[in-house]
A and B are shown apart, each in its own frame.
Chain A
Amino acid sequence: DTGVSQNPRHKITKRGQNVTFRCDPISEHNRLYWYRQTLGQGPEFLTYFQNEAQLEKSRLLSDRFSAERPKGSFSTLEIQRTEQGDSAMYLCATRPTSGGEETQYFGPGTRLLVL
């Protein structure tokens, strides 16, 4: 257990529905990342935050996806009008900005299945 928590751990939804995932970082980690992993592939970067500021978004993050980190603590990732291609594991990772530590620590992930 890295100390990064994600909820829910599993989500099954019907195509067209909206879903929201939450990530709670390690308390002193001010950088927070979202990745998506499909079967047989490595995680792919989606977006990241420095405190509450969203500093980079991947081209993978279509306009149906939105991420927030309103108070620089927990973050949410929302997918609107879900499609079957959105089925994947959504991973949150965090790291501190001080001390030269570059390692990103992953939460347990949220597995999404869109029917």
Chain B
Amino acid sequence: QKEVEQNSGPLSVPEGAIASLNCTYSDRGSQSFFWYRQYSGKSPELIMSIYSNGDKEDGRFTAQLNKASQYVSLLIRDSQPSDSATYLCAGSDFGNEKLTFGTGTRLTIIP
């Protein structure tokens, strides 16, 4: 059973609109969550980290965490063609070093 679930997409969003990416996790021990962006053929690049319930904003990106619902999301405002990539959600347990990744959501921003 996968521990981190993402809709694989593809998700298509018009340029300038809000892209909403979702992730659920099954392990209630998970404490820390990360969103990575991965361009085709490249390695994952950190977008956001979130450790507490609520929202965390960084520029055009907002991460949301709801531990009661075991749900993490990433909002991208004013989407740009350069945001087209696969977005990976990952979680880790307190004291457990490994990151558990979802399969990723492929996002395409349509000009």
Residues of A bordering B, CB below 8 Å: 2, 31, 33, 35, 40-45, 48, 55-56, 58, 89, 91, 93, 102-109, 111
- Cβ-neighbour of B97 out of A55, A108, A111 (below 8 A): A55
Residues of B bordering A, CB below 8 Å: 4, 8, 32, 34, 36, 41-46, 49, 51, 88, 90, 92, 97-104
* A-chain residues with CB within 8 Å of residue B97 when the two chains form the complex: 31, 33, 48, 55-56
Are A103 and B49 in contact, with the CB atoms below 8 A? yes
Looking at A31, A43, A58, which has the most chain B CB atoms within 10 Å of its CB? A43
Summed over the interface, the residue pairs from A and B with CB atoms below 8 Å come to a total of: 55
A2 CA / B42 CA spacing, docked (Å) = 13
Instruction: Give 4 A-B pairs besides A42-B102, A109-B42 with Cβ atoms closer than 8 angstroms.
Output: A41-B104, A56-B97, A104-B99, A106-B36
Q: Show 20 residue pairs from A and B whose CB-CB distance is below 8 angstroms, ordered by the A residue.
A: A2-B45, A33-B98, A33-B99, A40-B8, A40-B103, A42-B88, A42-B104, A43-B88, A44-B101, A45-B99, A45-B100, A48-B98, A91-B44, A102-B92, A103-B46, A104-B99, A106-B45, A108-B42, A108-B43, A109-B43
* B-chain residues with CB within 8 Å of residue A44 when the two chains form the complex: 101
Q: With A42-B103, A42-B104, A43-B101 in contact, is A102–B45 under 8 Å at CB?
A: no
Are A102 and B32 in contact, with the CB atoms below 8 A? yes
* A-chain residues with CB within 8 Å of residue B88 when the two chains form the complex: 42-43
Are B43 and A42 in contact, with the CB atoms below 8 A? no
How close is B41's CB to chain A, nearest CB, in angstroms?
8
